[in-house]
Amino acid sequence: MRSFIDEVVSSLYGRYGDDISSLNLVFPSRRARLFFSDALSRVTLRPVWQPRFVDINDLMQQISGIACGDRIELVTELYKVYSRHHDESFDEFYFWGDMLLSDFDQIDKYLIDADVLFTNIGDLHALEDHLAYLTPEQIGIVSRFWQSFGAESNFSDEKARFMSIWRTLGTIYHEYRAALSVQGLAYEGMVHRIAAERIAADDLPDEFPAPESRYVIVGFNALSACEKRLFTWLRNSGRAEFWWDYDDYYVGNADHEAGLFLRSNIREYPAPLDTGPHGRFVQAKEVSVVSAPSDSLQCKYVYTFLEGLLRRGLKPDKETAIVLTDESLLLPVLYSIPDEIGAVNVTMGYPLRQTTAYSFVERLLELQRRKRRKKDGTLQFYHSDVVGILNHPYILEQDSVRSGELIADIQRSQRVYVEAGRIAVPGVTDRIFSAADGWTELADYLQRVLACIGGLPSAEDGPRRREFFSVIIDNLCQVGTSLRDSGLEVTVPVFSSLLRKILQGVRIPYEGEPLSGIQVMGILETRNLDFENVLILSANDDTFPGNLAAGASFIPHNLRLAYGLPTPMHHEGVYAYYFYRLLQRASVVHIAYCSRSDDKHTGEPSRYIYQLDYESPHDVVRTQVPLSVSLAPQHPLAVPKTGEVAERLHAFLDGGGRTFSPTSFYAYIECPLKFCFRSIERLRPEEEVAEEIDLPMFGTILHKAMELLYTPLLNIPEPGRQIRALIGSAAVADAVTRAVSGEYLRDPSLGSDEYGGNVLLVRDIVVRYIDRCILPYDAAHPGFRIEGLEQSVTAPVSFCWGSETHTVTFAGTSDRLDRLTDGRVRVVDYKTGAPKTEFRDLDALFSADSRQRNAAALQTLLYSMMVSRTTGSDVQPALYYVRRMNDPDYSPLLVEGKREVFSFAPYRDPLQAYLQTTLASLFDFSEPFRQCDDRSVCEYCDFREICRR
C-alpha cells in the first residue's frame, strides 16, 4: 500500500531534494508529522535536516501577535463583562458562560458580524445594507426564525429571558474583546480573527513570513473562514502548495457528504499536478460488518480479528489500526490483544478519570461536600463518604485491619454521620478527616492529602501513583491560580465542578514507539494516516457520527444555518470524511457495532454501514459474534440436618441456649431453608447504613417514641386524662425527635434543627400518627392500665420427637402490655404497614400457601401465648395499625373468619397442637431444610440470590 504521506514525501523530495528541509509543513494533526518523518527517512539517500512543522494556531498567533489565554481565566473575564448587564452569580453563569465563550469563538473563526447576528426581526430593515453578504435564502431563514417568536407581548418566560440576554450579546461581545485586548489575552477564535483582519489589511508583522519561506498545506478538510483567508493569502503570494487527501468516489459525487468541504477546497486551492491517483476506494477490499450483543464481546472480537491476520501469515504491525469511536473501550481492547502480537502503540492516552488516583480525589471532594458541624462545633462526615475513603486501596494498604474495624463499627452502630474523632488510621486520617471550608482551603487540603499519600510506601504502583498525583496537583494549581487572579467570589461547588471537568479531560500518555506495532487510536487521530488493515469498533449511529447537534450553543440552529456557522450537516460531513478516507487505501476492513439497545446504545448500526451496503461497489459480509448462554439446570436446594447443622439445631432443645422468636418461627413456616440460613447458619445480608429512613426504621422510631411517651404512665389506673393531655403537646414532638436521634442518627444529643429534609418529613409523619391516631384512640377507649413497655416474655413449649419429649423456648419483646378492667392482659403490637387483621382459621396461619397466612396474626398469637404463660392471665391480642386508627369503625382485634377475637383462651390448646406438629417437623433430622414451593415468598427474601430465584 502506498499511503498518502508516502505520496507527499515522494513528490516533495523528488522536487526539492535535500532542500526539503527549507519547507514549512502544516498538518491538521501532530501524529501525521511522525509518519511524514518516517517516510522521509526511507527515501533520503543521506542525512538531511527535517522540515519545519507548524500548525494553524502557531501561524495565527504569529500573525496576530497575541497568544491564547487559559480557559478558566477567559470565562471569568467574560463573567465580569456579562455581570454589567445581567444580575447573575458566577455559580449560575459559569457553565453556560463556557458555552457562550464557544459561541464567540465560532463567530470569530467564521468572521461573522456579531452586530448583525445578535439582532432580531425588528432591526432587520435598518440593517439590510449589512446583510448584503447573505443570500436571499439565508435572509429568509433569519426572517422566519424571528417571526416564529411572535409578538413580544405574548412571549413565554423562557422566550422573554432568551430575548433579554440576546439583545445584550452584541454589546457583551465587543466589551469582552476590548477587555481581553487591554490585558493581552485572547481566546482562539479571537486570535484567528485578528490574524485574518491583519491579512486583509495587509498589516502583517515584519517577521512574517520569513524571506523565501514556503508552506506545504497537507491533508485538511473543513476550513473556517479565517483559515480560508490565510490559505488564500498564501496561495496568492505564491508561498504555498496544497495537498488534499481524498478519493474520487466521494469527491466526484456532488451529493456525497464525505466530499462536502473538499470539493470547494480542491477548486479554490488546487494541488500540484503530480498528486497521484484518487480512485483507490473502489479497488477490491475485504469489508466485514460485525454485530456484537455487548461492548465486552465487541472488544473480544479484536482478538478474533488479529488472530485472523496471523493465520493468513500477516504480522500485524503499524499497517494495522484498531480505531475506537468510543474511547471508554480502550482498556478492554488492550486486554483482548493476543500475546503473539508484539508491540502495541496507543495514541489516545490513558484517561485520568479511570485511575485510582482520580477516584481518590472524587472521594475527598464528596467527603468535604457533605461534612457538617454540630452546634457544639463537632465535625462530622457522612457515613458513605467515610466508608468510601476507608475502603479505598490507598488507605487499606496502610492498615486494612483498622480500616475494617472502623467500617464495621459504623455499620453496626448505624451512624449516618460519623464524628471525626472516631476515625483514626495512623498517619493518614488526621489529614483526610479535617475540614476545608472555602475553595482555597479545599485546594490546599487536596494538595496536602495527595502529597501525604504519594509519600507513603506502596507495594505496587508507587511511581505510577506519584505520576498521577503530579498531574492532578499541576491542574489543581492551574485552576487555583486562574480563580485567584480573577478576583471573583467562587463557591466550593463551582471550584469542585471546575476541577472535575478539567481532570476528566486529562489523559496520561502511554510510553511506546509510535512507529512500531499495531496502532490503537481514536477516530480523530487517523487523519492523513493510512493502514492496510482496519478494525473500527463501536460503529453505532449514536457514536459514529454521534450526536449531530452542533453542541451546546446559545445561537439557535436556524441562525447558525443562515450565517454559515457549523450545523449538524457540518458535523456529518466531517465524520463522513474521516470514515471514507480511512477506508480508501485499506485492504481489510472490519467494522463492529453493539446490537444491544440500552441506556448507552440504540443498537442501530452507523449510517455509514448502510451506505457501504447500498451504495458502495464492495460486497459487505455481515457476521455476528455469538453469545453462548448455557444455564445449568436448577435443582431444588436442600440442607441436610447433619454435622454442624444438627449441632446448632440441638442448641434449641431442652435449655441448650437458643430460643425461638415469633419472627424466626414464622420464617420456618414461610420457608424452611430461609430459617436454616437465618437461624442455623446465622447468615445476614451485608450490613449497610440506611441512607434514608426505611419502613423497618420508621416502625422502630414509632415504637421508641411511644415507649418514651408512655413510660411515665406505667401502672397509672385509667390514664385517659394524661393521654388526652399529651395530644397536641410538645411532648409528642420531643419524644419523636429523641427517637429519631437515638435510633436512626445514633446521636441522642442531636436536635431537630440539625435534621435534613427527609428526616424532618419522617419525624412529622410519626408525630401525626401518634397525635392523631394512637393517642386519640387510647383516650377514647378507657378501661386499661399500662403494665409493661418493651417487656421481655418467654414460654416453653413441649413436643414429641419420636419416642422422646423435648422442650423449646419461645422468647420475644412485647411492644406494650395493658391490664384491662376485667383482669385480662391486652398484648398491643404497633404496626405501620398495611392493615391486615383477618385470618381464616389456625390451619391457614400454618399453611404452605402464603395467600392464606397472616404473619402479624400468628406472631401476635405467639406473644399472647408467652404473656399468658408469664402472667397466668387470659390475654387479648391487639394490633394497632396506626394508619387506620382514626377511622370511626376501627378495631384492633384480630378477626377469625367474621368473628372478632376477644380472648386468647379458645386458641391456647389448638395453637399448642399446631406448634407441636410444626416443631416435630422442624426437628425431624431425617428431613433436610428445603426450599419452599411458593415463589412469592422469595420476592423480598434476603437469600434469593443464594437460591437463584
Q: How high is the pLDDT of residue 127?
A: 46
Q: What DSSP string runs through 575-628?
A: HHHHHHHHHHT-SEEEEEEE---SSS---PBPHHHHHHHHTSSS-EEEEE----
| Separation in Å, CA 226 to CA 33, 222, 801 | 23, 12, 96
**Cα–Cα distance between 534 and 548 in angstroms, integer?**
25
Q: In what order do the strands lie in the sheet with 620-624?
A: 344-346, 518-522, 320-324, 533-537, 588-594, 286-292, 620-624
Q: How high is the pLDDT of residue 411?
A: 80
Q: Under the phi-then-psi rule, with left for phi > 0, alpha for psi from -120 to 50, and beta for the rest, what region is 424?
A: beta
**Cα–Cα distance between 890 and 878 in angstroms, integer?**
12
**Residue of 104, 54, 93, 98 lying closest to 73 (CA atoms):** 98
Q: How high is the pLDDT of residue 631?
A: 55
Q: What residues in the chain have per-residue pLDDT under 50?
A: 121-122, 124-127, 550
Three-class DSSP category at 353: helix
Name the grid cell of 150: 411572535
**Cα–Cα distance between 797 and 861 in angstroms, integer?**
14
**Cα–Cα distance between 570 and 548 in angstroms, integer?**
9
| Cβ atoms of residues 178 and 80 within 8 Å | no
Q: How high is the pLDDT of residue 328?
A: 85
In tens, the pLDDT along 457-498 reads: 775 677 888 889 999 999 999 999 988 888 888 889 989 999
Q: Under the phi-then-psi rule, with left for phi > 0, alpha for psi from -120 to 50, and beta for the rest, what region is 589?
A: beta
CA 460 to chain centre: 28
Alpha-carbon torsion (553, 559, 565, 571), positive or negative: positive
Q: How high is the pLDDT of residue 427?
A: 64
Q: What DSSP string runs through 155-191?
A: --HHHHHHHHHHHHHHHHHHHHHHHHHHHT---HHHH
What predicted TM-score, i.e. pTM, was given to this entire model?
0.76
In tens, the pLDDT along 165-202 reads: 888 999 999 999 999 999 999 999 999 999 999 999 99
Residue 656 CA neighbour count, 13 Å, CB half = 15
**Residue of 919, 862, 863, 943 lying closest to 682 (CA atoms):** 943
In tens, the pLDDT along 725-737 reads: 999 999 999 999 9
Name the grid cell of 654: 431442652
Q: Strands 875-881 and 588-594: what pairing?
A: unpaired
Please enumerate in sequence order all residues whose Cβ is within 8 A of that of 742, keeping only pairs 6 or more positions apart, or say none.
Answer: 704, 748
| Cβ atoms of residues 370 and 530 within 8 Å | no
Q: How high is the pLDDT of residue 327?
A: 84
Q: Which helix (H) or strand (E) holds 919?
A: helix 908-922
Partner residues linked to 287 by β-bridges: 589, 620
